[in-house]
Homo-oligomer: A and B are copies of this chain.
């Protein structure tokens, strides 16, 4: 599966660990950075990542310290449905009910093992459609166009 991966400095190590994990599972990972622990701004990497996700019509995973800032920034854009998840259960719900195309994670909230578990649950779940489609359609086009 094609996946876009992005983060800020606070999540650099966790992004690297997740990249290795995803590549070992056979996924095609585009890492848009950041590429070091040097201080940077999460909105910059959210913006770069969502453009790639939109262009490639693929899924993406974004990380910052709490996951909160990068989820706010990503959700500003139409067609992006970014779900901040702390557990495998939430990750499944975000695919089943919200058709999330971006998973947001907090490097300072969950351990690397937990981040891998959440990511695996997210990638193996799918959208249920039905009444959830109508709800997603109501807000999906709101926001800045990509």
Contact = CB atoms under 8 A, between A and B. Distances in A.
A82 interface: yes
A114 B46 CA distance: 30
Interface string A47-62: 1000000000000000
B41 A100 contact: no
Interface residues of A, number: 41
A42 B97 CA distance: 12
B142 A73 contact: yes
Given A76-B143, A142-B73, A66 B84 contact: no
A138 B43 contact: yes
A124 interface: no
A80 to B, nearest CB: 8
B43 A68 contact: no
Nearest to A109: B90
A86 interface: yes
A72 B82 contact: yes
Nearest to A39: B131
Interface of A: 39, 41-44, 46-47, 65-66, 68-69, 71-73, 75-78, 81-86, 90, 93-94, 97-98, 100, 106, 109, 131, 134-136, 138-139, 142-144
